[in-house]
Structure 1
Amino acid sequence: MQHDFWHQRWQNQQIGFHLDAVNPLLAAHFQALNLQAGQRVFIPLCGKTLDIHWLLSQGIQVAGAELNQLAVDTLFAELGVTPTITEHGSLRLYHAEHIDIFQGDFFTLDKGLLGDVDAVYDRAALIALPANMRIDYSQHLINLTASAPQLLISFHYDQSLIEGPPFNVSAEEVAAHYAQAYDIHLLADEILPTGLKGKFPAQEKLWFLNPLK
C-alpha cells in the first residue's frame, strides 16, 4: 500500500475509519493496561483520533505516529494546542505538553527518537495494512516499544466480500504476529451493529497483549 493512497484519502476526507467519539472498547477496557497518570502510550498510525483527547483527559501522555500532515495539523487544531515542530531526518516531530506526534513513515521511526513508552494502543494500524506489510509492521512495533503491553483492535469479516482497508485479521494471524513476545487475551468480541461500511457482517475484537516474562 503506497503513501499516496492515504494522502489521497485524507485530502478527499474519505476517512470513514475516523470515529466521531471515543472508541467504547478503549474506554471500557483501558484499565487492563494498569497505567498511572503520567505514563506514556504509543498509538501507531494515529490519525486525528478522539481517543487521544480521551487519553490526555485521563492524565496519560501520548506519543503517536501518523503519515499524513493534514491529519496531524487537524489533531492539534482540534486539541486547541499549538505544537513545537522539529525536523528529525525524514520525520517531523510535533510536540506539546504531554503529547508527541511523529509525522512521516512509521517504519523510519526508531526507539531512540520515540523514547520509552509504557503501553501501545493499536486502534487502526494493523488492520490498515495489507498482509505483506503486517509482518514487518508487527516486528517493527515490538522492537520499537520493547514489547510494551498492548491493546489491539481487529476486525473479522469475509474478506472476499470487500477489499480493505480495514482488512480482516484473524485470531490466528494475531497469534502469528505476536505470540513470540506476548500472552494474548481476548477482552471483547462484538458484532458491528451496522456492519462493516454499513453493509457487511463483521466483528470487532479487542486483544490484550501481555509481555511474556
Structure 2
Amino acid sequence: MQADFWLQRWQAGEIGFHRHEYNAHMTRFIDLLGIGPGDHILVPLCGKSLDMIWLCEQNFRVTGIEISPVAVDAFFAENNIEHDISEYEWGLMYQSDSINILCADFFNIHSADLPHIDAVYDRASLIALPQDIRPDYVTQLARLIPDTARSLLITLDYPQQEMNGPPFSVGEADVKQLFGQQFIVESIIAEDCLANEPRFQAKGLSRLDERVFLLIKNIP
C-alpha cells in the first residue's frame, strides 16, 4: 500500500474508515498504558481521528503522524484548534498546545524528530497496511519508542477472503507473529462488532471481531 494510495483517498474524500465517535475500547482500556496527566501518546497514521481529542481531554499530550495534509488540515479546522506550522526536512509540523501532528511519511521519521514518547495508541494504523508492509511498520515503531512505552493496539479480525482491505484483517496470530520478537503481546479482548457495522455487513462479511492488545517492549 503506497503513500500515493492514501494521499489520493484523502484528496477524493474516500474516508469511510474515519469514525465520528470515540473508540469504546480506547476509553475502556486506556489505563492499561500506565500513564498519567502530561504524559505523551504517539498516534501513528492518525488521519483526523477524534480519538486524539479524547486523549487530550484526559490531559495527555498527543503527537500524531499522518502523511496527508488534507487530513491534518481538516483535523485542526474541524476541531477549531489554533496551531502553528513549521517546516522540516521530513515534512510539516502542526503544533498546538496539546496536540502536534507531523505531516510526513511514518517511515521517514526518526526518534529524534519526536518528543519523549510514554505510550502508543494504534486503532487504524496496522490494519491500514497490507501484509507485506506490516513487518516494516513494527520495526519502525520499535525504533521510535523507548523501552518503557506501552502500546494499545486495536485491530479488526474477519475472513480476509470475504473482503479486500483496507482495513485488513489482523487476528491474534498475526499480531503475535508480527510483534512477538520485540514485544510481549497480551490479548485483552475480542468482541463481535458486525451487528454495529452496516458497511461491513453490506460487503458480505460473515464475522467481524474488534480485538484489543497490550504491547510491552521485550527488553533483553
1:198 counterpart SS class = helix
- State yes or no: 1:166 paired with 2:193: no
Q: 1:180 is matched with which residue?
A: 181
1:49 counterpart SS class = coil
Q: 2:131 is matched with which residue?
A: 131
- State yes or no: 1:12 paired with 2:12: yes
Q: 1:207 is matched with which residue?
A: 213
- In the TM superposition, 1:143-154 aligns within 5 A as 143-147=143-147, 148-154=149-155
Percent identical residues: 36
Deviates more, 1:69-78 or 1:6-15: 6-15
The separation in 2 between residues aligned to 1:28 and 1:173, in whole angstroms, is 23
Following TM superposition, by how much is the alpha carbon of 1:13 offset from its aligned partner in structure 2, in angstroms? 1.7
Q: 2:73 is matched with which residue?
A: 73
Cα distance per residue 1:33-64 (max 9 Å; x no partner): 11110000000000111101100000000001
Following TM superposition, by how much is the alpha carbon of 1:212 offset from its aligned partner in structure 2, in angstroms? 3.0
- State yes or no: 1:197 paired with 2:200: yes
Q: TM-score, normalised by structure 2?
A: 0.92
Following TM superposition, by how much is the alpha carbon of 1:185 offset from its aligned partner in structure 2, in angstroms? 1.2
- In the TM superposition, 1:21-100 aligns within 5 A as 21-100=21-100
Task: Identify unmatched segments of 5+ residues in structure 1.
Answer: none
- The CA RMSD over aligned residues, in Å, is 1.3
Following TM superposition, by how much is the alpha carbon of 1:160 offset from its aligned partner in structure 2, in angstroms? 0.8
Residue identity opposite 1:163 in structure 2: N
Deviates more, 1:163-172 or 1:60-69: 163-172
Cα distance per residue 1:133-162 (max 9 Å; x no partner): 100011100111124200001111111111
Residue identity opposite 2:153 in structure 1: L
2:46 counterpart SS class = coil
Moved over 4 A (4+): none
Following TM superposition, by how much is the alpha carbon of 1:172 offset from its aligned partner in structure 2, in angstroms? 1.6
Cα distance per residue 1:145-204 (max 9 Å; x no partner): 124200001111111111100111121221122122222111121111245623312111
Residue identity opposite 1:204 in structure 2: E
Residue correspondences, number: 213
Q: 1:118 is matched with which residue?
A: 118
The separation in 2 between residues aligned to 1:180 and 1:93, in whole angstroms, is 32
Residue identity opposite 1:21 in structure 2: E
Deviates more, 1:157-166 or 1:3-12: 3-12
Residue identity opposite 2:209 in structure 1: Q
Deviates more, 1:23-32 or 1:146-155: 146-155
Residue identity opposite 1:197 in structure 2: F
The separation in 2 between residues aligned to 1:16 and 1:4, in whole angstroms, is 17
Following TM superposition, by how much is the alpha carbon of 1:111 offset from its aligned partner in structure 2, in angstroms? 0.3
The separation in 1 between residues aligned to 2:184 and 2:104, in whole angstroms, is 31
Q: TM-score, normalised by structure 1?
A: 0.95
8 Å Cα contact 2:172/2:187 also seen in 1: no
8 Å Cα contact 1:10/1:70 also seen in 2: yes
1:165 counterpart SS class = coil
